[in-house]
C-alpha cells in the first residue's frame, strides 16, 4: 500500500498530478482541489494517498490532510460508494461541514454534491451517521412546510442550510413562521 508520497509536483493537468520522488519515479495521482490550490509546479509536496488496485489499473488518490484521507477510507465502507464517488465527495466539501451535515441529518447537503443522487445521499448519510456514532432520525430529514419556509428564509439571508436546520431544533415548535425566523436569527447571530 502506498500511504504517502513525498517529492516534487512535476506536472498538473486537471485533477491529475505527476509527483516525482527523490528516486526519480513519477507517480500519477488524482488530487483534490485543495492540493491544486496549495502547491505550484516544481514545489516540494507531501500528500497522503490511497491506492486502488483493480484488475486493469492502479489508481492513486491524493489528500492534503490525514483527516481527508481517513474520511475517504470511511466513505469507502458505505455500500455502493467506490473511490470515484468518495473522491468526488471529498473534493466538493469541507470536512467540518460534512460532519455537521451528518450530525444534523442534512440530506440536502449531500444531494447538493455534484454526481450524488438522493438514494446514494441517503445511504451515505445513514451509514456515516452510524459510523460516526450520531443519532440518525428519519424525521429530522423531513420538515414541515413551515420549517422549510423558515430554512429557506434563513438561507436567503446568508446562513448555511445546516445551521438553519440546526437552529430549528432549538426554538419552540408552537411559534409562527415569522417568530421562528426571528428566534433563529437571534440564535445564529449569537455565535
Q: 131 to each of 1, 61, 90, 92, 135, how far by Cα in Å?
A: 24, 22, 17, 21, 10
1-18 average pLDDT score: 93
- pLDDT for res 133: 65
Same domain membership, residue 131 and residue 75? yes
Reported confidence tier of residue 150, pLDDT bands at 50, 70, 90: confident
Tell me what the pLDDT averaged over the chain comes to: 87
Q: Mean pLDDT highest for which of 15-19, 121-125, 172-176?
A: 15-19
Domain with 160 in it: 143-189
Cα dihedral: 124, 100, 175, 179 (round 10) = -130
- pLDDT for res 143: 65
Report the CATH number at residue 90. 1.10.150.20
Same domain membership, residue 147 and residue 130? no
Report the CATH number at residue 55. 2.40.50.140
- pLDDT for res 135: 46
Q: How many helices (H) and strands (E) does the chain have?
A: 10, 5
Give backbone dihedrals phi and psi of 143, rounded to 5 degrees, phi first.
-115, 160
41-69 average pLDDT score: 94
Give backbone dihedrals phi and psi of 90, rounded to 5 degrees, phi first.
-60, -35
- Long-range contacts formed by 180-184: CB under 8 A, 24+ apart: 180/146, 180/147, 180/150, 181/150, 181/153, 181/154, 184/150, 184/154
- pLDDT for res 191: 56
* Domain stops at, among 19, 39, 63: 63
- Long-range contacts formed by 125-129: CB under 8 A, 24+ apart: 125/101, 127/77, 127/78, 127/79, 128/74, 128/75, 128/78, 128/98, 128/102, 129/102, 129/105
Same domain membership, residue 98 and residue 79? yes
Tally of domains in the chain: 3
pLDDT, tens digit, 9 for 90 and up, residues 89-122: 999 998 888 988 888 888 889 999 998 889 999 9
Amino acid at each position: 500500500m502506498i500511504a504517502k508520497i513525498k517529492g516534487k509536483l512535476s506536472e498538473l493537468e486537471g485533477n491529475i498530478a505527476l509527483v516525482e520522488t527523490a528516486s526519480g519515479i513519477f507517480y500519477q495521482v488524482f488530487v483534490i482541489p485543495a492540493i491544486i490550490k496549495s502547491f505550484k509546479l516544481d514545489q516540494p509536496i507531501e500528500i497522503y494517498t490511497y491506492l486502488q488496485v483493480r484488475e486493469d489499473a492502479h489508481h492513486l488518490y491524493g489528500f492534503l490532510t490525514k483527516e481527508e484521507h481517513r474520511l475517504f477510507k470511511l466513505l469507502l465502507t458505505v455500500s455502493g460508494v467506490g473511490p470515484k464517488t468518495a473522491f468526488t465527495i471529498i473534493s466538493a466539501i469541507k470536512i467540518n461541514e460534512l460532519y455537521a451535515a451528518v450530525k444534523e441529518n442534512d440530506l440536502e447537503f449531500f444531494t447538493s454534491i455534484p454526481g450524488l443522487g438522493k438514494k446514494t445521499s441517503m445511504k451515505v448519510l445513514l451509514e456515516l451517521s452510524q459510523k460516526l456514532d450520531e443519532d440518525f432520525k428519519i424525521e429530522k430529514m423531513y420538515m414541515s412546510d413551515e420549517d422549510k419556509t423558515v430554512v429557506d428564509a434563513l438561507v436567503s439571508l446568508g446562513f448555511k442550510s445546516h445551521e438553519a436546520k440546526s437552529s430549528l431544533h432549538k426554538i419552540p415548535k408552537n411559534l409562527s413562521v415569522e417568530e421562528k425566523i426571528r428566534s433563529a436569527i437571534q440564535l445564529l447571530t449569537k455565535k
